[in-house]
Amino acid sequence: MTDPGRSRPVLRESYAQPMLGGRESSNLGDILERVLDRGVVIAGDIRVNLLDIELLTIKLRLLIASVDTARELGIDWWEHDPWLTGKNRELTDENRRLRDRLAAIEERLDERQGLPMRVPEQRPREVERRAERREAVRREADVRGGNMRGAERHEADGRGWEWRGG
Amino acid sequence: MGADGSGAVADSGIYLYAVTSEAGEACLKLRGVLDAPVRKISRGDLAAYVSTVPLDQFGEEPLGHLLEDLDWVGGVARAHHRVVESVAEAGPTAPVRLVTVYSGEEQVRELLARRHDDFLAVLSRVAGRREWGVKAYVDPESASHAGVGGPAERETSRGQRAARPGTAYLQRRKANLRSREDLWRHAVACAERLHAALGEIAVAGRRHRPQDPQLSGRKEWMVLNGAYLVDEERSAEFAAAVMAFREAAAGAGPGTEADAGDGAGVGELGRVMGMDVSMDIELTGPWAPYSFTAVELETGGREGGAR
Protein backbone atom coordinates (compact mmCIF):
# COMPACT_ATOMS: atom_id res chain seq x y z
CA MET A 1 0.00 0.00 0.00
CA THR A 2 2.96 2.34 -0.22
CA ASP A 3 2.09 3.68 -3.64
CA PRO A 4 -1.52 2.89 -4.34
CA GLY A 5 -1.52 4.79 -7.60
CA ARG A 6 0.94 2.54 -9.28
CA SER A 7 0.34 -0.84 -7.79
CA ARG A 8 -2.77 -2.04 -9.47
CA PRO A 9 -3.32 -5.26 -7.57
CA VAL A 10 -3.48 -3.42 -4.29
CA LEU A 11 -6.02 -1.01 -5.63
CA ARG A 12 -8.09 -3.71 -7.15
CA GLU A 13 -8.25 -5.59 -3.92
CA SER A 14 -8.70 -2.82 -1.48
CA TYR A 15 -11.13 -0.66 -3.42
CA ALA A 16 -12.51 -2.25 -6.49
CA GLN A 17 -13.33 -5.70 -5.27
CA PRO A 18 -15.59 -4.97 -2.35
CA MET A 19 -17.58 -2.59 -4.51
CA LEU A 20 -18.12 -5.17 -7.17
CA GLY A 21 -19.63 -7.59 -4.78
CA GLY A 22 -17.52 -10.53 -5.85
CA ARG A 23 -18.12 -10.16 -9.56
CA GLU A 24 -15.18 -10.31 -11.87
CA SER A 25 -13.74 -6.84 -12.09
CA SER A 26 -13.36 -6.77 -15.86
CA ASN A 27 -16.56 -8.20 -17.19
CA LEU A 28 -16.94 -8.71 -20.89
CA GLY A 29 -19.46 -5.90 -21.20
CA ASP A 30 -17.04 -3.35 -19.83
CA ILE A 31 -14.28 -4.65 -22.05
CA LEU A 32 -16.40 -4.73 -25.18
CA GLU A 33 -17.63 -1.27 -24.55
CA ARG A 34 -14.11 0.02 -24.30
CA VAL A 35 -12.39 -1.82 -27.09
CA LEU A 36 -15.20 -1.35 -29.59
CA ASP A 37 -16.09 2.17 -28.87
CA ARG A 38 -13.11 4.01 -27.53
CA GLY A 39 -9.41 4.37 -28.07
CA VAL A 40 -7.53 5.70 -31.03
CA VAL A 41 -9.28 5.28 -34.33
CA ILE A 42 -7.06 5.27 -37.33
CA ALA A 43 -8.67 5.54 -40.70
CA GLY A 44 -7.16 5.64 -44.09
CA ASP A 45 -4.31 3.58 -45.34
CA ILE A 46 -4.63 0.47 -43.26
CA ARG A 47 -5.78 -2.85 -44.44
CA VAL A 48 -8.77 -3.50 -42.24
CA ASN A 49 -10.37 -1.27 -39.73
CA LEU A 50 -13.47 -1.66 -37.72
CA LEU A 51 -14.70 1.52 -39.34
CA ASP A 52 -14.74 -0.22 -42.71
CA ILE A 53 -16.92 -2.98 -41.49
CA GLU A 54 -18.90 -0.99 -39.05
CA LEU A 55 -21.86 -1.11 -41.32
CA LEU A 56 -21.92 -4.86 -41.25
CA THR A 57 -21.84 -4.99 -37.53
CA ILE A 58 -24.74 -2.78 -36.76
CA LYS A 59 -26.14 -5.55 -34.61
CA LEU A 60 -23.09 -5.53 -32.43
CA ARG A 61 -23.03 -1.78 -32.21
CA LEU A 62 -26.63 -1.65 -31.19
CA LEU A 63 -25.85 -4.03 -28.41
CA ILE A 64 -23.21 -1.66 -27.19
CA ALA A 65 -25.60 1.21 -27.59
CA SER A 66 -27.96 -0.06 -24.96
CA VAL A 67 -30.99 -0.75 -27.02
CA ASP A 68 -33.31 -1.48 -24.15
CA THR A 69 -32.57 1.64 -22.21
CA ALA A 70 -33.00 3.70 -25.31
CA ARG A 71 -36.23 1.98 -26.17
CA GLU A 72 -37.51 2.46 -22.70
CA LEU A 73 -37.03 6.15 -23.24
CA GLY A 74 -38.72 6.02 -26.57
CA ILE A 75 -35.56 6.38 -28.56
CA ASP A 76 -35.91 3.77 -31.20
CA TRP A 77 -35.63 6.02 -34.19
CA TRP A 78 -32.77 4.09 -35.74
CA GLU A 79 -35.06 1.21 -36.38
CA HIS A 80 -37.09 3.37 -38.69
CA ASP A 81 -34.33 5.44 -40.17
CA PRO A 82 -32.97 3.79 -43.29
CA TRP A 83 -30.14 6.26 -43.14
CA LEU A 84 -28.71 4.41 -40.23
CA THR A 85 -29.09 0.96 -41.54
CA GLY A 86 -25.89 0.44 -43.34
CA LYS A 87 -24.66 1.60 -46.69
CA ASN A 88 -27.54 3.99 -47.19
CA ARG A 89 -25.68 6.50 -45.15
CA GLU A 90 -22.72 6.40 -47.47
CA LEU A 91 -24.95 6.57 -50.49
CA THR A 92 -26.75 9.57 -49.11
CA ASP A 93 -23.51 11.32 -48.37
CA GLU A 94 -22.11 10.54 -51.72
CA ASN A 95 -25.30 11.61 -53.39
CA ARG A 96 -25.14 14.93 -51.63
CA ARG A 97 -21.51 15.41 -52.56
CA LEU A 98 -22.17 14.63 -56.18
CA ARG A 99 -25.12 16.97 -56.34
CA ASP A 100 -23.10 19.73 -54.79
CA ARG A 101 -20.36 19.22 -57.30
CA LEU A 102 -22.83 19.11 -60.15
CA ALA A 103 -24.44 22.32 -58.98
CA ALA A 104 -21.05 24.00 -58.72
CA ILE A 105 -20.05 22.84 -62.18
CA GLU A 106 -23.33 23.99 -63.68
CA GLU A 107 -22.94 27.31 -62.03
CA ARG A 108 -19.51 27.74 -63.46
CA LEU A 109 -20.69 26.66 -66.88
CA ASP A 110 -23.51 29.16 -66.81
CA GLU A 111 -21.18 31.93 -65.79
CA ARG A 112 -18.82 31.08 -68.57
CA GLN A 113 -21.61 31.11 -71.11
CA GLY A 114 -22.83 34.43 -69.86
CA LEU A 115 -26.25 33.04 -69.10
CA PRO A 116 -28.23 34.17 -66.13
CA MET A 117 -27.49 32.18 -62.99
CA ARG A 118 -29.54 29.09 -62.69
CA VAL A 119 -31.86 28.75 -59.84
CA PRO A 120 -30.23 26.00 -57.83
CA GLU A 121 -32.05 22.72 -57.92
CA GLN A 122 -34.29 21.77 -55.10
CA ARG A 123 -32.84 18.37 -54.55
CA PRO A 124 -29.56 19.18 -52.83
CA ARG A 125 -31.32 21.45 -50.44
CA GLU A 126 -33.89 18.88 -49.68
CA VAL A 127 -31.20 16.41 -48.83
CA GLU A 128 -29.57 18.93 -46.60
CA ARG A 129 -32.80 19.70 -44.85
CA ARG A 130 -33.29 16.05 -44.18
CA ALA A 131 -29.81 15.85 -42.77
CA GLU A 132 -30.63 18.74 -40.50
CA ARG A 133 -33.73 17.03 -39.31
CA ARG A 134 -31.77 13.92 -38.54
CA GLU A 135 -29.28 16.02 -36.70
CA ALA A 136 -32.07 17.46 -34.63
CA VAL A 137 -33.45 14.03 -33.87
CA ARG A 138 -30.05 12.85 -32.88
CA ARG A 139 -29.48 15.81 -30.64
CA GLU A 140 -32.79 15.23 -29.04
CA ALA A 141 -32.02 11.58 -28.50
CA ASP A 142 -28.65 12.54 -27.20
CA VAL A 143 -30.09 14.78 -24.59
CA ARG A 144 -32.23 11.94 -23.44
CA GLY A 145 -29.20 9.88 -22.87
CA GLY A 146 -29.35 6.79 -25.01
CA ASN A 147 -27.96 7.84 -28.30
CA MET A 148 -25.45 5.92 -30.26
CA ARG A 149 -24.00 8.04 -32.96
CA GLY A 150 -24.60 11.30 -31.19
CA ALA A 151 -22.72 10.03 -28.20
CA GLU A 152 -19.91 8.99 -30.42
CA ARG A 153 -19.70 12.43 -31.85
CA HIS A 154 -19.56 13.91 -28.42
CA GLU A 155 -16.73 11.68 -27.50
CA ALA A 156 -14.82 12.48 -30.59
CA ASP A 157 -15.06 16.25 -30.21
CA GLY A 158 -15.22 16.61 -26.52
CA ARG A 159 -12.17 16.94 -24.42
CA GLY A 160 -12.77 17.28 -20.78
CA TRP A 161 -16.21 17.79 -19.44
CA GLU A 162 -19.32 17.24 -21.29
CA TRP A 163 -22.83 17.34 -20.09
CA ARG A 164 -25.64 15.42 -21.46
CA GLY A 165 -29.18 15.45 -20.33
CA GLY A 166 -28.87 18.90 -18.76
CA MET B 1 -14.02 -6.26 -51.49
CA GLY B 2 -11.22 -8.80 -51.56
CA ALA B 3 -8.66 -7.09 -53.74
CA ASP B 4 -6.94 -4.34 -51.98
CA GLY B 5 -4.57 -2.85 -54.45
CA SER B 6 -1.44 -4.60 -53.28
CA GLY B 7 -0.16 -7.08 -55.81
CA ALA B 8 1.06 -9.78 -53.46
CA VAL B 9 -1.50 -12.08 -51.93
CA ALA B 10 -0.64 -11.98 -48.26
CA ASP B 11 -2.34 -14.39 -45.95
CA SER B 12 -1.50 -12.60 -42.76
CA GLY B 13 -1.81 -9.12 -41.37
CA ILE B 14 -0.38 -7.10 -38.50
CA TYR B 15 -2.84 -6.50 -35.70
CA LEU B 16 -2.17 -3.28 -33.80
CA TYR B 17 -3.09 -3.12 -30.10
CA ALA B 18 -1.63 0.04 -28.72
CA VAL B 19 0.92 2.77 -29.18
CA THR B 20 3.25 3.81 -26.39
CA SER B 21 6.38 5.81 -25.88
CA GLU B 22 9.49 3.81 -26.64
CA ALA B 23 10.65 4.20 -23.04
CA GLY B 24 8.07 1.81 -21.65
CA GLU B 25 9.03 -1.85 -21.80
CA ALA B 26 6.01 -4.06 -21.40
CA CYS B 27 6.37 -7.71 -20.57
CA LEU B 28 6.54 -9.37 -23.95
CA LYS B 29 5.85 -12.89 -22.91
CA LEU B 30 2.38 -11.78 -23.75
CA ARG B 31 -0.01 -13.61 -26.02
CA GLY B 32 -2.44 -11.65 -28.10
CA VAL B 33 -5.34 -12.37 -30.39
CA LEU B 34 -5.61 -16.08 -31.30
CA ASP B 35 -2.83 -16.71 -28.82
CA ALA B 36 -0.18 -15.23 -31.11
CA PRO B 37 2.96 -13.77 -29.50
CA VAL B 38 2.97 -10.00 -29.15
CA ARG B 39 5.94 -7.99 -30.36
CA LYS B 40 7.03 -4.41 -30.29
CA ILE B 41 7.72 -2.28 -33.33
CA SER B 42 9.72 0.87 -32.59
CA ARG B 43 10.22 4.02 -34.50
CA GLY B 44 11.85 7.06 -32.98
CA ASP B 45 10.44 7.65 -29.51
CA LEU B 46 7.24 5.68 -30.17
CA ALA B 47 6.48 2.00 -30.09
CA ALA B 48 3.60 -0.09 -31.36
CA TYR B 49 2.54 -3.43 -29.94
CA VAL B 50 1.40 -5.88 -32.59
CA SER B 51 0.90 -9.51 -33.42
CA THR B 52 0.42 -11.43 -36.65
CA VAL B 53 -3.11 -12.50 -37.53
CA PRO B 54 -4.39 -14.69 -40.36
CA LEU B 55 -6.42 -12.83 -42.94
CA ASP B 56 -8.82 -15.71 -43.35
CA GLN B 57 -10.26 -14.39 -40.11
CA PHE B 58 -9.05 -10.81 -40.07
CA GLY B 59 -9.60 -9.94 -43.68
CA GLU B 60 -12.39 -7.51 -44.29
CA GLU B 61 -14.85 -10.04 -45.61
CA PRO B 62 -14.53 -12.86 -43.06
CA LEU B 63 -14.38 -10.26 -40.34
CA GLY B 64 -17.75 -8.93 -41.36
CA HIS B 65 -19.30 -12.29 -40.59
CA LEU B 66 -17.22 -13.08 -37.54
CA LEU B 67 -18.13 -9.82 -35.90
CA GLU B 68 -21.69 -11.02 -35.72
CA ASP B 69 -20.49 -13.87 -33.56
CA LEU B 70 -20.40 -12.58 -30.04
CA ASP B 71 -18.26 -15.46 -28.78
CA TRP B 72 -15.60 -14.76 -31.36
CA VAL B 73 -15.75 -11.05 -30.64
CA GLY B 74 -15.54 -11.75 -26.93
CA GLY B 75 -12.38 -13.78 -27.37
CA VAL B 76 -10.71 -11.15 -29.52
CA ALA B 77 -11.84 -8.38 -27.20
CA ARG B 78 -10.41 -10.09 -24.13
CA ALA B 79 -7.11 -10.76 -25.87
CA HIS B 80 -6.95 -7.19 -27.11
CA HIS B 81 -7.76 -5.89 -23.67
CA ARG B 82 -5.18 -8.14 -22.02
CA VAL B 83 -2.41 -6.78 -24.22
CA VAL B 84 -3.50 -3.18 -23.81
CA GLU B 85 -3.69 -3.53 -20.04
CA SER B 86 -0.26 -5.00 -19.63
CA VAL B 87 1.27 -2.46 -21.98
CA ALA B 88 -0.48 0.27 -20.00
CA GLU B 89 1.08 -1.00 -16.78
CA ALA B 90 4.51 -0.20 -18.17
CA GLY B 91 3.83 3.38 -19.20
CA PRO B 92 1.51 5.84 -20.92
CA THR B 93 -0.49 4.02 -23.55
CA ALA B 94 -2.86 4.88 -26.34
CA PRO B 95 -5.10 1.87 -26.92
CA VAL B 96 -6.13 1.43 -30.53
CA ARG B 97 -9.66 0.48 -31.53
CA LEU B 98 -10.38 -3.23 -31.75
CA VAL B 99 -9.47 -4.89 -35.04
CA THR B 100 -7.04 -2.48 -36.65
CA VAL B 101 -5.05 -4.61 -39.05
CA TYR B 102 -2.17 -3.50 -41.25
CA SER B 103 -0.73 -5.40 -44.16
CA GLY B 104 2.85 -5.11 -42.93
CA GLU B 105 5.20 -3.88 -40.23
CA GLU B 106 6.48 -1.21 -42.55
CA GLN B 107 3.01 0.35 -42.61
CA VAL B 108 2.93 0.44 -38.85
CA ARG B 109 6.32 2.19 -38.74
CA GLU B 110 5.03 4.65 -41.27
CA LEU B 111 2.02 5.32 -39.10
CA LEU B 112 4.23 6.02 -36.10
CA ALA B 113 6.29 8.43 -38.17
CA ARG B 114 3.41 10.24 -39.78
CA ARG B 115 1.19 10.59 -36.73
CA HIS B 116 4.08 11.07 -34.36
CA ASP B 117 2.88 14.37 -32.93
CA ASP B 118 -0.71 13.22 -32.51
CA PHE B 119 0.34 10.13 -30.62
CA LEU B 120 2.72 12.12 -28.47
CA ALA B 121 -0.07 14.53 -27.57
CA VAL B 122 -2.36 11.67 -26.61
CA LEU B 123 0.34 9.97 -24.56
CA SER B 124 1.28 13.11 -22.66
CA ARG B 125 -2.38 13.64 -21.83
CA VAL B 126 -2.68 10.26 -20.14
CA ALA B 127 0.82 9.97 -18.64
CA GLY B 128 0.74 9.32 -14.92
CA ARG B 129 -3.02 8.88 -14.97
CA ARG B 130 -5.42 5.98 -14.96
CA GLU B 131 -8.99 5.59 -16.05
CA TRP B 132 -11.69 4.56 -13.60
CA GLY B 133 -15.19 3.53 -14.44
CA VAL B 134 -18.15 4.46 -12.27
CA LYS B 135 -21.62 3.18 -12.92
CA ALA B 136 -24.79 3.90 -11.05
CA TYR B 137 -27.86 1.70 -11.17
CA VAL B 138 -31.38 2.31 -10.06
CA ASP B 139 -33.82 -0.52 -9.63
CA PRO B 140 -37.15 0.73 -10.93
CA GLU B 141 -39.02 -2.15 -9.30
CA SER B 142 -37.86 -1.83 -5.74
CA ALA B 143 -37.84 1.94 -5.97
CA SER B 144 -41.44 2.15 -7.09
CA HIS B 145 -42.40 -0.11 -4.20
CA ALA B 146 -40.54 2.26 -1.93
CA GLY B 147 -43.17 4.81 -2.80
CA VAL B 148 -41.64 7.13 -5.35
CA GLY B 149 -44.26 9.56 -6.50
CA GLY B 150 -46.11 8.67 -3.33
CA PRO B 151 -49.18 10.84 -3.77
CA ALA B 152 -49.90 9.35 -7.16
CA GLU B 153 -49.82 5.86 -5.75
CA ARG B 154 -51.98 6.67 -2.81
CA GLU B 155 -54.43 8.35 -5.13
CA THR B 156 -54.60 5.20 -7.14
CA SER B 157 -55.30 2.91 -4.29
CA ARG B 158 -58.11 5.18 -3.21
CA GLY B 159 -59.51 5.33 -6.71
CA GLN B 160 -59.10 1.62 -7.04
CA ARG B 161 -61.84 0.83 -4.59
CA ALA B 162 -64.34 3.05 -6.34
CA ALA B 163 -63.55 2.36 -9.96
CA ARG B 164 -64.30 -0.73 -12.00
CA PRO B 165 -61.45 -3.21 -12.48
CA GLY B 166 -60.58 -2.04 -15.99
CA THR B 167 -60.43 1.60 -15.02
CA ALA B 168 -58.51 0.76 -11.91
CA TYR B 169 -55.98 -1.12 -13.96
CA LEU B 170 -55.52 1.81 -16.27
CA GLN B 171 -55.19 4.21 -13.39
CA ARG B 172 -52.69 2.00 -11.72
CA ARG B 173 -50.74 1.75 -14.90
CA LYS B 174 -50.78 5.48 -15.41
CA ALA B 175 -49.62 6.16 -11.90
CA ASN B 176 -46.94 3.59 -12.27
CA LEU B 177 -45.67 5.19 -15.44
CA ARG B 178 -45.72 8.57 -13.79
CA SER B 179 -43.78 7.36 -10.80
CA ARG B 180 -41.25 5.70 -13.07
CA GLU B 181 -40.77 8.96 -14.88
CA ASP B 182 -40.31 10.73 -11.59
CA LEU B 183 -37.83 8.19 -10.46
CA TRP B 184 -35.92 8.47 -13.70
CA ARG B 185 -35.70 12.24 -13.39
CA HIS B 186 -34.51 12.06 -9.80
CA ALA B 187 -32.01 9.36 -10.58
CA VAL B 188 -30.57 11.29 -13.50
CA ALA B 189 -30.16 14.34 -11.28
CA CYS B 190 -28.35 12.25 -8.69
CA ALA B 191 -26.12 10.79 -11.34
CA GLU B 192 -25.21 14.27 -12.48
CA ARG B 193 -24.31 15.33 -8.98
CA LEU B 194 -22.16 12.27 -8.60
CA HIS B 195 -20.49 12.91 -11.93
CA ALA B 196 -19.77 16.50 -11.00
CA ALA B 197 -18.38 15.56 -7.61
CA LEU B 198 -16.05 12.97 -9.08
CA GLY B 199 -14.97 15.56 -11.62
CA GLU B 200 -13.51 17.59 -8.78
CA ILE B 201 -10.96 14.86 -8.24
CA ALA B 202 -10.47 13.64 -11.79
CA VAL B 203 -8.61 15.60 -14.43
CA ALA B 204 -11.23 14.68 -17.00
CA GLY B 205 -14.52 12.86 -17.10
CA ARG B 206 -16.79 11.41 -19.73
CA ARG B 207 -20.31 10.15 -19.54
CA HIS B 208 -20.80 7.24 -21.85
CA ARG B 209 -24.15 5.97 -22.91
CA PRO B 210 -25.64 3.40 -20.59
CA GLN B 211 -24.84 -0.21 -21.31
CA ASP B 212 -27.33 -2.68 -22.58
CA PRO B 213 -28.54 -5.06 -19.85
CA GLN B 214 -27.08 -7.88 -21.92
CA LEU B 215 -23.67 -6.33 -21.46
CA SER B 216 -23.99 -5.12 -17.93
CA GLY B 217 -25.71 -8.28 -16.84
CA ARG B 218 -28.09 -6.18 -14.77
CA LYS B 219 -31.72 -5.37 -15.34
CA GLU B 220 -31.69 -2.09 -13.46
CA TRP B 221 -31.47 1.28 -15.14
CA MET B 222 -27.95 2.43 -15.62
CA VAL B 223 -28.15 6.13 -14.94
CA LEU B 224 -24.44 6.81 -14.97
CA ASN B 225 -21.78 5.19 -17.08
CA GLY B 226 -18.88 7.47 -16.37
CA ALA B 227 -15.18 7.27 -17.10
CA TYR B 228 -12.69 9.37 -15.18
CA LEU B 229 -9.08 10.12 -15.84
CA VAL B 230 -7.40 10.38 -12.47
CA ASP B 231 -3.85 11.25 -11.47
CA GLU B 232 -2.23 8.20 -10.01
CA GLU B 233 -1.53 10.00 -6.75
CA ARG B 234 -5.22 10.69 -6.35
CA SER B 235 -6.47 7.19 -7.12
CA ALA B 236 -7.06 6.34 -3.49
CA GLU B 237 -8.87 9.61 -2.90
CA PHE B 238 -11.04 9.00 -5.94
CA ALA B 239 -11.93 5.47 -4.87
CA ALA B 240 -12.76 6.72 -1.38
CA ALA B 241 -15.08 9.36 -2.80
CA VAL B 242 -16.90 6.76 -4.86
CA MET B 243 -17.16 4.61 -1.77
CA ALA B 244 -18.68 7.48 0.20
CA PHE B 245 -21.26 8.11 -2.48
CA ARG B 246 -21.97 4.44 -2.68
CA GLU B 247 -22.73 4.31 0.99
CA ALA B 248 -24.79 7.46 0.86
CA ALA B 249 -26.85 6.26 -2.07
CA ALA B 250 -27.32 2.71 -0.90
CA GLY B 251 -29.84 3.54 1.77
CA ALA B 252 -31.14 6.72 0.27
CA GLY B 253 -34.56 6.95 -1.21
CA PRO B 254 -37.41 9.33 -1.39
CA GLY B 255 -40.46 8.70 0.67
CA THR B 256 -40.67 7.24 4.10
CA GLU B 257 -38.91 3.93 3.76
CA ALA B 258 -35.38 5.24 3.91
CA ASP B 259 -36.08 7.17 7.09
CA ALA B 260 -37.79 4.24 8.66
CA GLY B 261 -34.86 2.05 7.78
CA ASP B 262 -31.84 3.46 9.48
CA GLY B 263 -33.15 6.37 11.46
CA ALA B 264 -30.96 9.39 10.99
CA GLY B 265 -28.15 7.28 9.59
CA VAL B 266 -27.87 6.50 5.92
CA GLY B 267 -30.89 8.40 4.71
CA GLU B 268 -29.52 11.57 6.22
CA LEU B 269 -26.12 11.00 4.68
CA GLY B 270 -27.76 10.43 1.33
CA ARG B 271 -29.54 13.75 1.55
CA VAL B 272 -26.40 15.60 2.54
CA MET B 273 -24.59 14.26 -0.50
CA GLY B 274 -27.53 14.92 -2.76
CA MET B 275 -28.28 11.26 -3.24
CA ASP B 276 -32.01 11.19 -2.76
CA VAL B 277 -32.60 8.10 -4.84
CA SER B 278 -31.46 4.69 -3.79
CA MET B 279 -28.71 3.73 -6.19
CA ASP B 280 -26.11 1.07 -6.52
CA ILE B 281 -22.79 2.63 -7.43
CA GLU B 282 -20.06 0.51 -8.91
CA LEU B 283 -16.38 1.28 -9.38
CA THR B 284 -14.20 -0.51 -11.90
CA GLY B 285 -10.58 -0.08 -12.77
CA PRO B 286 -8.02 1.09 -13.06
CA TRP B 287 -8.25 0.76 -16.81
CA ALA B 288 -5.95 1.75 -19.60
CA PRO B 289 -7.12 5.20 -20.68
CA TYR B 290 -9.53 3.97 -23.32
CA SER B 291 -11.98 6.80 -22.87
CA PHE B 292 -9.44 9.56 -23.09
CA THR B 293 -7.61 8.55 -26.19
CA ALA B 294 -10.66 8.60 -28.41
CA VAL B 295 -9.10 10.57 -31.20
CA GLU B 296 -9.66 9.96 -34.85
CA LEU B 297 -6.54 9.91 -36.92
CA GLU B 298 -7.28 10.36 -40.56
CA THR B 299 -4.21 9.19 -42.37
CA GLY B 300 -5.61 10.32 -45.67
CA GLY B 301 -5.13 7.24 -47.77
CA ARG B 302 -7.66 5.85 -50.14
CA GLU B 303 -10.59 8.10 -49.34
CA GLY B 304 -8.76 10.96 -50.96
CA GLY B 305 -9.97 13.44 -48.39
CA ALA B 306 -13.60 12.72 -49.02
CA ARG B 307 -14.62 13.57 -45.53
Give the contacts of A164 (CB within 8 A, at least 6 positions apart).
A142, A143, A145, A151, A154, B207
Distance CA A99, CA A91 (A): 12
Scan residues 277-306 of B and list those with Cβ closer than 8 Å to A: 281-287, 290-291, 293-303, 306
- Residues B112, B197: one domain? no
* Cβ-based neighbours of B140, under 8 Å, separated by 6 or more: B180, B183, B184, B220, B221
Q: Is residue B173 part of a domain?
A: no
Cα(A150)–Cα(B93) distance, integer angstroms: 26
Is residue B61 domain-shared with residue B86, that is, in the same domain? yes
> Which residues 67-96 of B have a C-beta within 8 angstroms of A?
67-68, 70, 73-74, 77-78, 80-81, 84, 89, 94-96
Candidates A2, A14, A47, A69, partner chain B, best to mutate (most B CBs within 10 A): A47
Residues of B in contact with A53 (CB under 8 A): 60, 63-64, 67, 99
A164 CB near a chain B CB, below 8 Å? yes
pLDDT value at A44 more than 80: no
Q: Which residues of A touch B236 (CB under 8 A)?
A: 4-5, 11, 15
> What's the rounded Cα separation, in Å, for the pair A87 and A99?
18
Number of domains in chain B: 2
Closest residue of chain B to A142, computed from CA coordinates: B209
Complex ipTM value? 0.77
Residue A142 clears pLDDT 90, i.e. is over it: no
Give the per-residue pLDDT at A144. 42
pLDDT band at residue A30 using 50, 70 and 90 as cut-offs: confident
Q: Name residue A42's beta-bridge partners.
A: B297
Position A45 pLDDT exceeds 70: no
B111 shares its domain with B143: no
Name the DSSP class of B275: -
| CB nearest A8 (choices: B100, B286, B299) | B286
Encode pLDDT of A73-109 as tens digits.
443 433 433 333 344 556 667 777 888 888 888 888 8
- Of B272 and B287, which is predicted with more confidence? B287
Residues B144 and B213 in one domain: yes
pLDDT digits (tens, 9 = 90+) for B250-271: 876 554 344 444 444 445 666 6
Residues B77 and B193 grouped into a single domain: no
pTM of the model: 0.64
Let me know: does B59 contact B102? Beta carbons within 8 Å.
no
Looking at the structure, tell me whether residues B38 and B100 fall in a common domain.
Answer: yes
Are B232 and B89 found together in one domain? no
CB neighbours of B197 closer than 8 A, spacing ≥ 6?
B241, B245, B273
Same domain, B275 and B187: yes
Inside any domain, residue B204: yes
Q: Are residues B139 and B97 in the same domain?
A: no
